[in-house]
């Protein structure tokens, strides 16, 4: 195979980003004989099951003097393999980086998932990326993990490759919460049902929506409930079930209680669905600013009201329910 043909069938390593969690560390995973303890996966949500794996590689790395490295992908592989089946994202790329910054890892390596990478057999992925790029000596994976073309790189296949090439493979068992294993698919199902409190228990944190405050129709202000209209920039970010929620708003570094409206406004014909946050006992101009919404608890579904007065009464009921929720917290 000539150089041009080989390049067309290989990952462009110029696009592979190795971030050091500690700014004091040099960029890129160095090859200095220490070797690395590595895990691989999409890690969407960075939930409690993921954190168990990350804690394990950090523990093993510390015990052996090796580096702890996560190799992860962006975008989600299904967006390349089967776009019509790709799930919505629990974490944007920026959110994932933020969460991983507190994971105890030394390095996170972001590999762009492309049609070329999709065709890599498990062995080639191991040799070119895990060994060739991050000097892997030990691989730690979750109980249900698989990578490589057709997810052929399951536990037994990887152990066979490891025995031949010279690296160990260890498996971390599932973390169970509320009677079932923690998984990104389960968290998505909970969010789709509006069960954000249970989803938060599986995530180990509240569910976030980040975005910029943009100019809205100012309808809430006219009704006595001014809202921040938030534009969620990532089109793949999952929104919980439509409805009204108790939610925390992170504004200028301060965590404030509020009410979140997700979805259409059927009382007012012709108005597009929105993500609107009303902050309780706070006022100020936040247009153009970025804020974070931490969705806390589902209060009610979307409803159409026969009059503006009926809508205002319902909003006052939402406020009372929200205040009761926050008093309990």
Active-site residue numbers?
A: 276
* Rg (the chain; Cα; Å): 23
Question: Tokens for 89?
Answer: 């994202």
Kindly provide the b/e burial profile for residues 135-161, where b requires at least 16 CB atoms within 10 angstroms of the residue's own CB: bbbbbbbbeebbbbeeeebebebbbeb
Instruction: Check if the beta carbon of residue 212 is closer than 8 Å to that of residue 231.
Output: yes
Task: Classify strands 107-112 and 168-172 as parallel, antiparallel or unpaired.
Answer: unpaired
User: Which of 222, 213, 231, 224 minimizes the C-alpha distance to 285?
Assistant: 213
Whole-angstrom Cα distance, residue 120 to residue 3? 18
Strand order in the sheet with 67-74: 17-20, 107-112, 67-74, 36-40, 136-142, 168-172
End-to-end, the C-alpha distance of the chain in Å comes to 64
Helix (H, G, I), strand (E, B) or coil at 248: strand
Bond before 49 cis per omega within 30 degrees? no
DSSP per-residue string spanning 4-29: HHHHHTS--GGG-EEEESSTTSPSS-
Instruction: Check if the beta carbon of residue 278 is closer than 8 Å to that of residue 248.
Output: no
Q: How many residues does the chain have?
A: 329
């Amino acid at each position: 195979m000539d150089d041009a043909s080989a390049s067309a069938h290989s990952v462009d390593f110029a696009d592979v980003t190795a971030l050091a969690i500690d700014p004091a560390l040099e960029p890129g995973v160095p090859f200095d004989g220490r070797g690395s303890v590595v895990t691989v996966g999409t890690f969407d949500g960075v939930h409690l099951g993921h954190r168990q794996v990350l804690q394990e590689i950090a523990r093993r790395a510390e015990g052996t003097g090796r580096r702890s490295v996560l190799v992860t992908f962006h975008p989600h592989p299904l967006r390349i393999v089967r776009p019509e089946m790709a799930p919505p994202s629990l974490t944007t790329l920026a959110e994932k980086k933020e969460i991983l910054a507190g994971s105890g890892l030394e390095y996170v390596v972001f590999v762009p998932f492309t049609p070329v990478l999709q065709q890599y057999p498990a062995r080639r992925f191991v040799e070119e990326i895990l060994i060739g790029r991050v000097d892997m000596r030990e691989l730690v994976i979750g109980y249900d993990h698989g990578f490589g073309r057709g997810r052929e790189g399951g536990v037994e296949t990887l152990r066979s490759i490891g025995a031949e090439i010279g690296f160990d493979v260890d498996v971390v068992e599932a973390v169970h919460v509320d009677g079932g294993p923690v998984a990104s698919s389960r968290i998505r199902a909970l969010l789709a049902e509006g069960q954000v409190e249970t989803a938060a228990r599986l995530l180990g944190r509240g569910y976030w929506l980040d975005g910029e405050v943009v100019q809205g129709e100012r309808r809430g202000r006219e009704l006595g409930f001014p809202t921040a209209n938030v534009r969620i920039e990532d089109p793949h970010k999952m929104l919980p079930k439509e409805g009204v929620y108790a939610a925390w708003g992170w504004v200028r570094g301060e965590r404030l209680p509020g009410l979140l409206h997700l979805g259409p406004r059927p009382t007012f014909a012709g108005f597009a669905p929105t993500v609107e946050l009303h902050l309780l006992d706070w006022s100020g101009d936040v247009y153009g600013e970025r804020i974070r919404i931490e969705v806390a608890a589902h209060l009610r579904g979307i409803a159409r009201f026969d009059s503006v007065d009926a809508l205002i009464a319902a909003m006052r009921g939402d406020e009372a329910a929200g205040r009761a929720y926050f008093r309990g917290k």
